[in-house]
């Protein structure tokens, strides 16, 4: 019996919610160093760029094993892998907290890299399962909801980490978010015991994998993810520090204000899937290209804004449109290949997209330190947005054109 027949619509939503908390905990863990950047810099005795490596190396870990993770998940039970990986992730968060207390920066970088490798496995498996348990006509909605866990986790860490740091110290907030991930992963395991949530029935062949890796549309959507993930990480990583440096916010105020960007993104990701599925007949391209078109002039305008109210409006719009496009890249890339190798296609997107997310904090950090300000960093973000406009214009749409895409791929 297929997973789509054994899992009812209500059950699919419960599964999506459990996996939402699983991945939100990981995302919150990922961005802890950026949420209390000045405190981490002082306690560890390193530069801001060095601290940014704690975020970037996590993403590097995701990129490094993205392709192997997809191959693994296309061949094995994703449900079992999620359970094992979430508890292994909890272990890395406990070690991260301990190493942070000991100021062991090099070992801290290494364990953050390992946590990133586990994250890409959990994330890809979660997308696979949600994409399978929801019917085809609602796949964008289900995956769109799951993807809100990324801005949701960012908002969670921006809001909670500064306060938690005052109670238990910033080092042990890592373990709090690891506990959330493991608890939700266990809940998913228990709830899905009666259901068939296999992501495929037939094991794909080597030729099937090679077809995916040679599909130019898969790689094209992956490059779009590079631009979109870079922009997302640019705002989430540097926004709190920018608000402190340029608008004289306190650390807590900047965290709350920066949380606006990912929080509004949660709404955008959910809405984008519903609009694409219900109003656009499953087409993804109009929303993807539209997100880049809107974000480009906003990026140019943000450094010129001097009032807090206008800055808040700009961040709300930027957060909304950016996340609308990012959410739809996940079903987009899965739909240009056959179902049994969807995990491999998603892993290509993860590889290229995570390289963008990995590079963004480092590149912008170097630009900020070299220029002594944020102007060049915002210029880099503008270039990414303009590039996204051009590439998304060239890639064919899904929906009615899917047969053509698969034939040419």
Count of domains in the chain? 1
The conformational region for residue 372 under phi > 0 = left, psi -120 to 50 = alpha, else beta, is left
Element (H, E) at 380: helix 375-394
Q: What's residue 264's pLDDT?
A: 80
Task: Return the pLDDT at 172.
Answer: 93
Question: How many CA atoms within 13 Å lie on the side-chain side of 357?
Answer: 29
pLDDT at 75: 77
Q: What CATH code is carried by the domain that includes residue 180?
A: 1.20.1250.20
Q: Determine the length of the chain.
A: 409
Alpha-carbon span 151 to 142, nearest angstrom: 16
Task: Give the whole-angstrom CA distance, residue 26 versus residue 82.
Answer: 13
Q: Is 8 left (phi over 0), alpha (psi -120 to 50) or beta?
A: beta
> Among 349, 365, 352, which Cα is nearest to 284's?
349
Q: What is the pTM of this model?
A: 0.76
Structural domain of 345: 3-408
Non-local CB neighbours of 130 within 8 Å, separated by 6+ positions: 12, 15, 16, 19, 142, 143, 145, 146
Distance from C-alpha of 140 to C-alpha of 282, rounded to nearest angstrom: 8
In this prediction, residue 204 carries a pLDDT of: 64
- Pair 261, 319: CB distance under 8 Å: yes
Find the angle CA(326)-CA(329)-CA(331) to the nearest 5 degrees: 130
Looking up tokens 């997100």 gives 291
Answer for the pair 377, 61: CB distance below 8 angstroms, yes or no: no
Which secondary-structure segment (H or E) carries 299?
A: helix 285-301
Contact 139, 9 (CB under 8 A): no
Residues 371 and 383: their CA atoms lie apart, in Å, by: 17
pLDDT per position in the chain (409 positions), as tens? Answer: 344 446 788 898 999 999 999 999 999 999 888 778 778 888 888 877 778 788 888 988 988 888 888 888 877 788 899 999 999 999 999 999 999 999 899 999 999 999 999 999 999 999 889 988 887 778 778 888 998 898 789 888 888 888 888 899 989 999 999 999 999 999 999 999 887 776 655 556 677 778 888 888 899 999 999 999 898 888 777 777 777 777 777 767 776 776 676 678 788 888 887 888 888 887 888 899 999 999 999 989 888 887 878 887 887 888 788 888 888 888 888 788 877 777 788 888 888 988 888 888 778 888 888 887 788 888 999 999 999 999 999 888 765 344 434 434 3
Q: What is the C-alpha to C-alpha distance for residues 146 and 22, in angstroms, rounded to an integer?
A: 10
3-state secondary structure 74-112: CCCCHHHHHHHHHHHHHHHHHHHHHHHHCCCHHHHHHHH
> 11 burial class (0-12, 13-18, 19+ CB within 10 angstroms)?
middle
**Measured distance CA(50)–CA(109) in Å, rounded:** 10
């Amino acid at each position: 019996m297929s997973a789509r027949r054994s899992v009812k619509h209500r059950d699919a939503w419960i599964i999506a919610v459990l996996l939402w908390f699983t991945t939100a905990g990981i995302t919150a863990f990922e961005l802890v160093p950026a949420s209390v950047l000045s405190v981490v810099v002082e306690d560890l005795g390193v530069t801001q760029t060095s601290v940014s490596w704690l975020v970037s190396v996590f993403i590097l870990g995701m990129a490094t094993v993205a392709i192997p993770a997809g191959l693994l998940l296309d061949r094995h039970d994703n449900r079992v892998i999620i359970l094992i990986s979430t508890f292994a992730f909890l272990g890395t968060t406990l070690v991260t907290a301990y190493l942070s207390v000991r100021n062991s920066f090099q070992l801290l970088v290494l364990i953050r890299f390992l946590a990133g490798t586990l994250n890409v496995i959990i994330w890809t498996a979660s997308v696979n399962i949600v994409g399978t348990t929801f019917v085809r006509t609602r796949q964008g909605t289900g995956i769109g909801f799951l993807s809100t866990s990324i801005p949701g986790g960012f908002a969670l860490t921006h809001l909670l980490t500064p306060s938690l740091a005052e109670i238990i110290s910033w080092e042990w907030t890592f373990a709090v978010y690891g506990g959330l991930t493991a608890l939700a992963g266990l809940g998913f395991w228990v709830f899905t015991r009666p259901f068939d949530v296999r992501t495929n029935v037939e094991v794909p062949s080597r030729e099937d994998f090679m077809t995916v890796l040679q599909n130019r549309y898969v790689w094209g959507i992956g490059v779009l993810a590079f631009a979109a993930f870079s922009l997302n990480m640019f705002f989430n990583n540097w926004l709190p520090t920018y608000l402190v440096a340029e608008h004289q916010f306190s650390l807590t105020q900047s965290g709350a204000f920066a949380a606006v960007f990912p929080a509004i993104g949660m709404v955008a990701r959910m809405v984008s899937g519903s609009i694409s599925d219900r109003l656009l007949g499953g087409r993804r391209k109009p929303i993807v290209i539209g997100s880049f078109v809107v974000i480009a002039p906003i990026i140019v305008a943000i450094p010129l804004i001097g009032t807090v109210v206008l800055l808040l409006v700009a961040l709300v719009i930027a957060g909304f449109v950016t996340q609308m496009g990012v959410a739809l890249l996940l079903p987009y890339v899965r739909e240009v290949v056959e179902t049994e190798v969807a995990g491999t296609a998603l892993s290509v997107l993860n590889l290229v997209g995570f390289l963008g997310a990995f590079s963004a904090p480092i590149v912008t950090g170097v630009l900020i330190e070299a220029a002594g300000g944020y102007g060049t960093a915002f210029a880099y973000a503008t270039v990414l947005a303009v590039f996204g406009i051009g590439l998304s214009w060239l890639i064919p749409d899904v929906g009615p054109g899917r047969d053509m895409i698969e034939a040419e791929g």
